[in-house]
Amino acid sequence: MIQAIVFLPLLAAIVAGLGNRALGNTVAKAITTGALFVSCALSWPIFLGFLSGAQVAHVEPVLQWIKSDDFNVLWALRVDTLTAVMLVVVTSVSALVHLYSWGYMAEDDSQPRFFAYLSLFTFAMLMLVTADNLVQMFFGWEGVGLASYLLIGFWYYKPSANAAAIKAFVVNRVGDFGFMLGIFGTFLVFGTVSIPAILAAAPGMAGSTVGFLGGRVDTMTLLCLLLFLGAMGKSAQLGLHTWLPDAMEGPTPVSALIHAATMVTAGVFMVCRLSPMFETSHTAMTVVTLVGAATALFAATIGTTQTDIKRVIAYSTCSQLGYMFFAAGVGAYGAAMFHLFTHAFFKALLFLGAGSVIHSMHHEQDMRFYGGLRKSIPVTFWAMTIGTLAITGVGVAGVFGFAGFYSKDAIIESAFASGTQVGGIAFAIGVFAALLTSFYSWRLVFLTFFGEPRWAASEHIQHAVHGEHDAPSAEHGDSAHHEVHAPTGTAGYHPHESPLSMLVPLVLLSLGALLAGFLFDEVFLSPERGMAFWKGSLFFDEHLMHARHAIPEWAKQSATIAWIIGLVIAWYAYLKDTTVPARFTSTFRGLYAFLLNKWYFDELYNLIFVRPAFALGRFLWKRGDEGTIDRFGPNGAAAVVAGTSRVSSRLQSGYVYTYAFVMLIGLAGAATWAIAG
């Protein structure tokens, strides 16, 4: 069964990719979508089996992959609780994204290629989560990197899409370099890349040291930090986050699949998979906590100012990943995976809902040109409202809550319950980030679905009214300098609800955002059921889970108070008194510019890395290639040979007397040399 789950998407990708237009759009879409729904149907029984206790962890060998002396890598598929959770996340979201893409990509000329890329990505992600050794995990790790490059740059005729794809590829290579060093170091220390063997031996290496860069450092700290560097790149943590917002240049289904629910969670999965290793290093755990908390805050602040609907959700993803990491950093790996699980549903829902809005607004992505859409696209409105309720963590303890109410609150509570100084910092940041999350999430809803229609000012809507067609738009958020309200009016354009193929996934994901937390809270997090459920597939701290329930009531209610405050501020600023945003930005111009320009990370990296790299490239080109190699190569020795050849060729006249004259000169020269000798 597990072989079919993993390899069906690969088979579909090969058929659709090689068949391409010879198959036609419908056949290619049917093959890839059908394969994903079969994989999804086979994944849920495995997950439910672990849920009921009927399923046991096992490894299914595929083939002997690499064998060189002591280095032995078996390609095998590991199935345990952690894998089962990821299987349902990846296959469920991917299947629904495939179905959604039938409607969203209906007018695209390269649909077989698009669906082949989607299935290829899914296969790579499944290889990653079923890996039984670090080399196999790295294979899937790089596979999703390749597929994301292809999908982000799918609209290759857009320079911005090409630039975003290259940026994602390059930034991820930085993290992947650390991941590779971590794998090399782990093999050097443990003599194996088998994950079970490494985790079994890890506690025995606690406190040992190893030589590194001319000194002695703690072995497990070094290995964990190198591995975490890979997680930072893939999961867009602070410092290696810059690729994620730009990745919104790809089609919206790509954003939902790769940059919300699956690929960006690979780093969280890796840390949880290797949690027994991380537990041996207090320093590594502290770093994971602080980086995660800083990312949660950083991304949330930026999300408050962006005007592009997809970019707001992209920074929301970055922030939520920060929550997952600081949960892992304080030892609450079960809470981190639970938030990964619930986040997959409500974040995919928000991205696909945004795609439905963009589809109805003729590819307009700037929320300032929306307004009043709840009556025109009611299904999309209710779907995104449910997603917003889930991400902001709305619920009543002991009664009912949306998905984020259980998972995000569990992370915040666990940080407080850890009792450490760094846990307290993460708790405070988590609560404040929850307030910001509520603000920017409800801001998105109010700007999009409430108020007066502001469509008349949109160039894309004007094009649609006059029958003009254009390529999918580039994003407008970065060029916005003020929270403006465009002139009212409909310009003769009437938004329309998306086709059924796009609405069905929204409805199904809405059910996940509605029920995932309520149904699985006890299973993932309770001290007793949690131990039985995870079955050693990650480090589960039952004492921390007990302590989480014993924290003061004010700490338990802090996240609820935060989302209420955020909602009230957004309601007042964007519905009650719509002059507030403009007055705020004019009063705090510096702060607003700082957040709107994403803390100037792109500008800083451009100054530190990009410009010097281009300068070095120009120097090597002009001075090295042209000034040295060409000068002494094609323009030097080769030029001398060419000139000599031209002179020599003039002696080849074809006349006998010319050759006789040359021969005479040669004989005279030889005789002179002989006599002189």
Q: What is the pLDDT of residues 446-457, one digit of tens each?
A: 999 998 888 766
Check residue 457 and give its pLDDT: 67
Q: Other CB atoms closer than 10 Å to residue 158's CB: what's the count? A: 17
Angle at the Cα of 638 from the Cα atoms of 637 and 644, rounded to 5 degrees: 90
Q: What percent of the chain has pLDDT over 90?
A: 65
pLDDT tens digit string along 409-420? 999 999 999 999
Angle at the Cα of 461 from the Cα atoms of 368 and 571, rounded to 5 degrees: 25
Q: Assess whether pLDDT exceeds 90 at residue 496.
A: no
Tell me the pLDDT band of 645, cut-offs 50, 70 and 90.
confident
Tell me the pLDDT band of 486, cut-offs 50, 70 and 90.
very low
Name the 3-class secondary structure at 131. strand
71 forms beta bridges with 68
Question: Minimum mean pLDDT among 318-332, 342-356, 660-674: which range?
Answer: 660-674
pLDDT tens digit string along 14-51? 999 998 888 888 999 999 999 999 999 999 999 999 99
Tally the C-alpha atoms within 13 A of residue 263's C-alpha that lie toward its C-beta: 32
pLDDT tens digit string along 311-320? 999 999 999 9
Gap between the Cα atoms of 13 and 300, Å rounded: 36
What is each CA distance from 257 to 37, 121, 162, 572, 603, in whole angstroms?
Answer: 15, 9, 19, 34, 28
Check residue 273 and give its pLDDT: 95
Q: Distance from first CA to last CA of the chain, Å, rounded?
A: 92
Gap between the Cα atoms of 651 and 673, Å rounded: 23
Gap between the Cα atoms of 596 and 524, Å rounded: 37
User: Cβ distance 389 to 376 under 8 Å?
Assistant: no
Burial class (CB in 10 A: 0-12, 13-18, 19+), 555: middle
Tell me the pLDDT band of 677, cut-offs 50, 70 and 90.
low
Check residue 472 and give its pLDDT: 39
Mean pLDDT of the chain: 88
Check residue 480 and give its pLDDT: 34
Q: Assess whether pLDDT exceeds 70 at residue 489.
A: no
Contacts by residues 45-49 (CB-CB < 8 Å, ≥ 24 positions apart): 45/1, 46/1, 46/2, 46/5, 46/79, 46/84, 46/87, 47/84, 47/85, 47/87, 47/88, 49/84
Could you say which DSSP state residue 466 is in?
A: T
Q: Assess whether pLDDT exceeds 50 at residue 479.
A: no
**Strand pairing class (71-79; 58-68):** antiparallel
Report, as an integer, the average pLDDT of 130-139: 94
Token pair listed for 452: 């007066």
Concatenated DSSP letters of 50-101: HHHT----EEEEEEEEEEETTEEEEEEEEESHHHHHHHHHHHHHHHHHHHHH
Q: Assess whether pLDDT exceeds 80 at residue 361.
A: yes
Gap between the Cα atoms of 386 and 380, Å rounded: 10
User: Cβ distance 352 to 509 under 8 Å?
Assistant: yes
pLDDT tens digit string along 161-198? 899 999 999 999 999 999 999 999 999 999 999 999 99
Could you say which DSSP state residue 454 is in?
A: B
Gap between the Cα atoms of 228 and 295, Å rounded: 14
Gap between the Cα atoms of 282 and 545, Å rounded: 19
Amino acid, res. 26: T
Tell me the pLDDT band of 255, cut-offs 50, 70 and 90.
confident
Check residue 339 and give its pLDDT: 95
Q: Assess whether pLDDT exceeds 50 at residue 470.
A: no
- 513 contacts: CB under 8 Å, gap ≥ 6: 342, 345, 346, 349, 386, 387, 389, 390, 402, 403
Check residue 260 and give its pLDDT: 63
Question: Minimum mean pLDDT among 225-229, 394-398, 424-428: which range?
Answer: 394-398
Check residue 213 and give its pLDDT: 78
Please tell me which of 59-63, 241-245, 286-290, 636-640 the model is most confident about, judged by mean pLDDT. Answer: 286-290
Check residue 299 and give its pLDDT: 94
The stretches of 202-332 forming alpha helices (DSSP H) are 219-234, 243-246, 252-256, 266-273, 275-278, 282-303, 309-329
Tell me the pLDDT band of 257, cut-offs 50, 70 and 90.
confident
Best CA proximity match to 47, nearest among 645, 533, 674: 533
Name the 3-class secondary structure at 212. strand
What is each CA distance from 106 to 21, 25, 499, in whole angstroms?
Answer: 14, 9, 10
* pTM for the structure as a whole: 0.89
Angle at the Cα of 531 from the Cα atoms of 530 and 533, rounded to 5 degrees: 60
Check residue 318 and give its pLDDT: 93
Q: What percent of the chain has pLDDT over 70?
A: 94
Name the 3-class secondary structure at 155. coil
User: Cβ distance 330 to 368 under 8 Å?
Assistant: no
User: Cβ distance 23 to 16 under 8 Å?
Assistant: yes
Tally the C-alpha atoms within 13 A of residue 647's C-alpha that lie toward its C-beta: 5
Check residue 513 and give its pLDDT: 94
What is each CA distance from 595 to 220, 233, 301, 305, in whole angstroms?
Answer: 37, 22, 7, 7
Could you say which DSSP state residue 630 is in?
A: I
User: Cβ distance 249 to 161 under 8 Å?
Assistant: yes
Residues 550, 553, 558, 559, Cα dihedral to 10°: 60
Tell me the pLDDT band of 80, cut-offs 50, 70 and 90.
very high
Token pair listed for 70: 């002591």
Check residue 210 and give its pLDDT: 86
User: Cβ distance 481 to 605 under 8 Å?
Assistant: no
419 — alpha (psi -120 to 50), left (phi > 0) or beta?
left
Report, as an integer, the average pLDDT of 80-95: 95
User: Cβ distance 40 to 119 under 8 Å?
Assistant: no
Check residue 467 and give its pLDDT: 52
What is each CA distance from 36 to 17, 26, 94, 501, 537, in whole angstroms?
Answer: 15, 15, 7, 15, 26
- List of E strands, 351-397: 395-396
Q: Assess whether pLDDT exceeds 70 at residue 523.
A: yes
pLDDT tens digit string along 200-232? 999 999 888 888 877 889 999 999 999 999 999
